[in-house]
Amino acid sequence: KAGVTQTPRYLIKTRGQQVTLSCSPISGHRSVSWYQQTPGQGLQFLFEYFSETQRNKGNFPGRFSGRQFSNSRSEMNVSTLELGDSALYLCASSAGTGAYGYTFGSGTRLTVV
């Protein structure tokens, strides 16, 4: 069965621009969560969606937003990019509560110049 698919794999953007990342979860999984990974801060939780509703949000500025579609695919948007937004963005899918664990995608490497 197909895993978690993230697109694109790599992105280079200029400060001030905005970016949209996409994540398709494992078939049948209705929960998608997003994480930011940087060398200095490690892996940090951004937000989680279940059945098109955001259930939880991490401590990130409002420039970071997301949404989930009826087919469970999710997008994450970052507006007014800053150099510090350069990171590996990972999404994870789960069946619902995380009781059966999380499966991660390969990530999108975002570089802001």
Partner 1 sequence: KQEVTQIPAALSVPEGENLVLNCSFTDSAIYNLQWFRQDPGKGLTSLLLIQSSQREQTSGRLNASLDKSSGRSTLYIAASQPGDSATYLCAVSQAGNMLTFGGGTRLMVKP
CB of 16 to partner 1, least distance (A): 26
Would you say 46 and 60 are in contact if contact means Cβ atoms under 8 Å apart? Answer: yes
Q: Which amino acid appears at position 98 of this protein? A: G
Q: Which amino acid appears at position 26 of this protein? A: I
- Rounded to 10 degrees, the C-alpha dihedral 100/70/4/21 comes to -130
Name the pairing type of β-strands 64-68 and 74-78: antiparallel
CB of 90 to partner 1, least distance (A): 6
Q: Print the binding letters for residues 30-69 with partner 1: x by CB under 8 A, - otherwise.
A: -x-x-x------xx-x--x-x----xx-x-----------
Which parts of this chain interact with partner 1 (CB under 8 A)? 4, 6, 31, 33, 35, 42-43, 45, 48, 50, 55-56, 58, 88, 90, 92, 94, 97-107, 109
